Amino acid sequence: MSTPVKKVPIHLQSAQNRLLIKHGKVVNEDDITEDDIYIEDGVIKQLGRNLIIPGGTRVIDARGKYVLPGGIDPHTHFEMEFMGAKSVDDFYQGTKAAVAGGTTMIIDFVMPKKGESILDAFYEYRQKGDDKVCCDYGLHVALTHWNEQVRREMEVLCKEHGVNSFKVFMAYNFMLNDSELYSVFETCQKLGALAQVHAENGSIIAKNVERLLAKGITGPEGHEMSRPEEVEAEAVNRACVIAKQVDCPLYIVHVMSKSAGLALKQACERGTRVYGETLVAALASDGSHYRHECFQHSAGHVLSPPLRPDPTTPQFLLNLLAQDVLQVTGSDNCTFNKSQKEMGKNDFSKIPNGVNGVEDRMSVIWEKGVQSGVIDPCRFVAITSTNAAKIFNIYPRKGCIAVGSDADIVIWDPTKTRTISASTHHQAVDFNIFEGMVCHGVPEYVIVNGRVCVDDGQLRVVQGHGRFVETPVYAPFVYDPDKIGDLKPVRNGTHDDYLPEQVHKITIEDKACPTPTLPDSAVSTPSVRGPRPEGQRNIQDSTFSISEDLDVDRKSCIRVRNPPGGKSSGFW
């Protein structure tokens, strides 16, 4: 079977091919500037002031708003068959919801059945995704078994199909053993791919499940009891030890507990090349929900690893994100309706695992992170977009606002609020774990490949508008940080100044190990990945004021407040 070829109908591209965004505060991971952005044919062509643009161009006034790179959600499971059910958000509904929330690219997981050809499974996912997606998408491939054929097909996927990351499981009935993990990591290293790990000790969980059910603990509270956080931390540590033997860079998906975060931090200190993702669910919810009397509510929160009973976990994980121990936030959107969750009514181990998040990730993280003063808008951009683009090697095509980058842009109003509810969300699922949460930060305009898909708050997606985005192997951020130097994407000028080869040359921070202190206060602790290149702002040096930032008069610099430990220079 050959790879499906994506055709983008001309009429979908021609209608709104010229756009000027004026007067906004353009936020990249390292800077906030007051530039206008000219977009043509889906690409950012000019960035700066007093741009000369063709007549007839549509102008969007972003005065008083932030202009952000579109969110990249690197962890979704749309229409996935899992635990005897199929997740209800498909590639249409899921990407539509993503766009509604300010996410302009998702990376989903091909989930082959145990024993199935991973190449065939990849083709099936391309077929499911290509005609439905409302925004761009990429694919990781999960390895649910291990043999020579899998090894050969991994190579084909990397060389011919734009896949650069493979997920392995240390839990579930398709978990791999240590020797198999070793072989997978070795293969990834040889191919220049990234190994992703679901870190939980599946053998311990199986025994705990048996013991709890025998004791009559059958409700959703048993889910967390069977998978306590040390069981997650042990697996994080083991995965890091194995990856280090073969010098394979590792990405731990869904870090859900303090212990797991610390295990990752310690592995990094020992010299393991490891990156960490946490979930919006972990930042805004906790394990107390498993004891809720309503089954739909408690089962609706079941995912693995589970939410933690320790109520300080969300703040701790947020601090790890602020300190760069963790780099990425995903949703792990994997939604099942009430009737599907009821498959585990009398046995928590049969509740299909997964929660929502693809639509609300950006707003919830803004509320918990930026609105609460723990991170600034630059770090918000890093953890919701840029770092994922770098790790999965699509930067600076994605993950930044620069000349030559795809026009995936969100105009974000931090003064507006919205209340999250299953009754108003755009997802197919009938439950929302963030129900009732009021979030500052509303995407007023969402531009996907140059097309305005949220227009003054109105959602106008087009099914099939998104494209499959290849993720090339040997991501410099992961594989070659030392040789990358200090080249930056083009942040100013016109498309004529733009050198295509610069797309592949990126700024890399020194990946030194974290400091050994525990993260109590993110804002007062310096970046754990070592010094920033000269001229780049350290976001932990100061807190900031949204109201001051959003002064409608254009300023050449942005005022910051004093940091917790003393006075800052005031401007940068």
- Residue 82 interacts with, from ligand URQ, Zn ion, none (CB under 5-8 Å by kind): ligand URQ
Half-sphere exposure of 121 (CA within 13 A, CB side): 23
Torsion angles phi and psi, residue 480, rounded to 5: -140, 45
Least separation, in Å, of the C-beta of 519 and ligand URQ? 24
By CB under 6 A, is residue 221 in contact with ligand URQ? no
Contact 258, 188 (CB under 8 A): no
Least separation, in Å, of the C-beta of 54 and ligand URQ? 46
By CB under 6 A, is residue 427 in contact with ligand URQ? no
Which residue's Cβ lies closest to ligand URQ?
Answer: 353
Cα–Cα distance, 8 to 5 (Å, whole number) = 10
Contact 70, 401 (CB under 8 A): no
Least separation, in Å, of the C-beta of 226 and ligand URQ? 13
Least separation, in Å, of the C-beta of 353 and ligand URQ? 3
Cα–Cα distance, 497 to 378 (Å, whole number) = 25
Shortest CA distance to 347 belongs to which of 458, 484, 212? 212
Residues with Cβ < 8 Å from 443, sequence gap 6 or more? 100, 101, 102, 362, 363, 410, 411, 412, 413, 454
Least separation, in Å, of the C-beta of 210 and Zn ion? 22
Interface residue with ligand URQ among 126, 198, 308, 465 (CB under 6 A) is 198
Q: Which is nearer to ligand URQ, 198 or 467 (CB)?
A: 198
3-state SS of 326-377 is CCEEECCECCCCHHHHHHHCCCHHHCCCCECCCCCHHHHHHHHHHHCCCCCH
By CB under 6 A, is residue 112 in contact with ligand URQ? no
Least separation, in Å, of the C-beta of 167 and Zn ion? 7
Question: Binding to ligand URQ (CB under 6 A): which residues in 477-496?
Answer: none
Burial of 60 from C-beta contacts in 10 A (0-12 / 13-18 / 19+)? buried
Residues with Cβ < 8 Å from 168, sequence gap 6 or more? 142, 143, 176, 180, 181, 184, 195, 196, 197, 198
Interface residue with ligand URQ among 45, 77, 96, 126 (CB under 6 A) is 77
Cα–Cα distance, 281 to 356 (Å, whole number) = 8
Interface positions with Zn ion (CB under 5 A)? 198, 332
By CB under 6 A, is residue 474 in contact with ligand URQ? no
Structure token pair of residue 16: 């709104």
- Residue 353 interacts with, from Zn ion, ligand URQ, none (CB under 5-8 Å by kind): ligand URQ
Least separation, in Å, of the C-beta of 550 and ligand URQ? 36
By CB under 6 A, is residue 76 in contact with ligand URQ? no
Least separation, in Å, of the C-beta of 88 and Zn ion? 15
Cα–Cα distance, 547 to 308 (Å, whole number) = 34
Neighbours of 63 (CB within 10 A): 12
Cα–Cα distance, 353 to 333 (Å, whole number) = 10
Contact 232, 200 (CB under 8 A): yes
By CB under 6 A, is residue 413 in contact with ligand URQ? no
By CB under 6 A, is residue 353 in contact with ligand URQ? yes
Contact 487, 503 (CB under 8 A): no
| Residues 321-340: x where in contact with ligand URQ by CB under 6 A, - otherwise, as a string | -----------x-x------
Interface residue with ligand URQ among 354, 369, 443, 514 (CB under 6 A) is 354
Least separation, in Å, of the C-beta of 303 and ligand URQ? 3
By CB under 6 A, is residue 440 in contact with ligand URQ? no
Interface residue with ligand URQ among 18, 82, 288, 345 (CB under 6 A) is 82
By CB under 6 A, is residue 161 in contact with ligand URQ? no
Interface residue with ligand URQ among 303, 322, 401, 469 (CB under 6 A) is 303
Interface residue with ligand URQ among 28, 144, 304, 384 (CB under 6 A) is 304
Q: Which is nearer to ligand URQ, 277 or 367 (CB)?
A: 277
Which residue's Cβ lies closest to Zn ion?
Answer: 198
- Residue 102 interacts with, from Zn ion, ligand URQ, none (CB under 5-8 Å by kind): none
Residue type, 313: T
Residues with Cβ < 8 Å from 233, sequence gap 6 or more? 257, 259, 260, 262, 263
- Residue 303 interacts with, from ligand URQ, Zn ion, none (CB under 5-8 Å by kind): ligand URQ
Contact 71, 101 (CB under 8 A): yes
Structure token pair of residue 351: 């509740």
Cα–Cα distance, 510 to 237 (Å, whole number) = 23
- Residue 282 interacts with, from ligand URQ, Zn ion, none (CB under 5-8 Å by kind): none
Q: Which is nearer to ligand URQ, 77 or 465 (CB)?
A: 77
By CB under 6 A, is residue 549 in contact with ligand URQ? no
| Residues 238-267: x where in contact with ligand URQ by CB under 6 A, - otherwise, as a string | ----------------x-------------
Least separation, in Å, of the C-beta of 354 and ligand URQ? 4
Contact 365, 283 (CB under 8 A): yes
Residues that bind ligand URQ in the complex, under the rule CB under 6 A: 77, 82, 198, 254, 303-304, 332, 334, 353-354
